[in-house]
Structure 1
């Protein structure tokens, strides 16, 4: 039976990579050997490959947060208030990481950082984004348009607490 390392060497040779750049081919082969050394089953290999792809694409595995060490201020360079996430450089925020968009996401989905709460006033007048440990946290993509009659930029600047409205 052919091992994964044997398969990698054969494919690298057939694609011309070994002849073209032996050091590159050796690095890829070493990576495959390191992966193989764990002794993955089919299920764990699939999960590990998915994680490796995300890591190699400089993506995050755990949810993003508002931790200031996680966000780099790019405002001076961009000329507008803007922060870029250090764990996933595709994540761009205009509110210091409370919400963010992924620059290559064609849907324009707004995401909420893990440690931020999302709530709607009873009157539906404002959309508040601020730490509220007593409320459930909305993680991942959020359809703001369906949640409240204001846009996200306005809601972030309003800073009106839903509890004040009650």
Structure 2
């Protein structure tokens, strides 16, 4: 007798279940010059505020992984709701690389810290890799946040849910933080 529950023992079941959990969407970039790459990610989390650390998950056969390991630095741009087309572009096999990234990202250096800012992003986090953890078919990169760029005005975030990208409607603020 089936109770409508999915088995958690298979990859397909796990993928099906995780599609039910909405996540934010970001653009990870790493490398310089011809080696520069960027990719859409949704496996990102804040690990610690003191000291500031984030964790990103990158598929082992992604173009960005060996570059990330070599450079030991990356930038994460948190995508706004109206940036779904950019998320799709950088999730595709035909994503721009090298000099092609300059059409989308702006290089910025302040106080000796480089980062690639995506205009219109909710925020930009420039990180150095502190540790790498191979896990299954992915690698987890623990990043020490070196710099945060956040515009004063913030729009609604881009979300990924049930295999679709969509802007999140603005939530009413209650005045509490």
Q: TM-score, normalised by structure 2?
A: 0.24
Higher RCO, 1 or 2 (CA under 8 Å, sep at least 6)? 2
TM-score (norm 1): 0.25
Please state which structure has a larger fraction of its residues in strand.
2
Structure 1 or 2: larger helix share?
1
